[in-house]
Amino acid sequence: MQNKRGYHHGSLKQALIDAALEILAEGGPAALTLTEAARRAGVSPAAPYRHFSGRDALISELARRGFETFGARIETAWDEGRPDAKSAMRAMCAAYLKFAQDEPGLYAAMFGQAQTLADPGAGGARYAALQIWSLAHGVAMLTISGHFDPVKSADPALLLDSAAQGVMERAAARAKA
């Protein structure tokens, strides 16, 4: 994973991003150091400053890309509510957890530290959507941090889906009343 394309000239910025994602996935936000990213990209510790204003800027860039990718996958999973709201919700929840598992680097960059970013394209931002988001975030964080391990009987995906259904049912009931 060390030598992708070029160091002395090629695409260093992308190489640094790739290295940073590797590091985040391996050791979390605390392990991400500009020097280590530079080392993996095969350049000097000062080189990254040609492409990023500093360590925080690198993490912000990762978070930005993370929200982009995340939003796209959630939207795809939701598929405008097809074939029905219940199934679409289930697919969206599964996609959320899958993202946290498949892209631990991006997820860590997105939620590892307090970032001041706009919300990830909620658009109309309905109440239920925010609830599901909170729920999914909580499940993902607690799963990643190992706080769910002691309770082996609880599968995170089922847990999330079940709770999400509850939120949806309530939202539907409110809409009727």
Under DSSP, the state recorded for 45 is T
Per-position b or e across 68-84, b if 16+ CB within 10 A of its CB: ebbeebbeebbeeeeee
In the region spanning residues 75 to 114, those forming contacts with its own copies, defined by CB under 8 A, are: 111, 113-114
1 CB-near residues (< 8 Å, 6+ apart)? 18, 19, 22, 40
**Is residue 175 near its own copies by the rule CB under 8 A?**
no
Look at residue 79 and give its three-state secondary structure.
Answer: helix
Residue 114 corresponds to which amino acid?
A
Partner whose binding site includes residue 125, from DNA, its own copies, none (CB under 5 to 8 Å by kind): its own copies
Residue of 18, 28, 33, 115 that binds DNA (CB under 7 A): 33
The two structure tokens encoding residue 4:
């992708």
Size, binding site for DNA by CB under 7 A:
23
**Is residue 116 near its own copies by the rule CB under 8 A?**
yes
Partner whose binding site includes residue 3, from DNA, its own copies, none (CB under 5 to 8 Å by kind): none
Nearest to 85 by CA among 126, 119, 118: 126
In the region spanning residues 121 to 160, those forming contacts with its own copies, defined by CB under 8 A, are: 122, 125, 127, 130-131, 133-139, 141-142, 144-148, 150-151, 154, 159-160
Q: Which stretch binds DNA (CB under 7 A): 26-34, 90-98, 120-128, 143-151?
A: 26-34
Nearest to 128 by CA among 175, 171, 75, 85: 171
Q: Tell me, residue by residue from 48 to 87, as one string, x for binding to DNA by CB under 7 A and - for no binding.
A: -xxx-xxxx-------------------------------
Under DSSP, the state recorded for 48 is G
Q: Which residues bind DNA (CB under 7 A)?
A: 7-10, 12, 32-36, 42-47, 49-51, 53-56
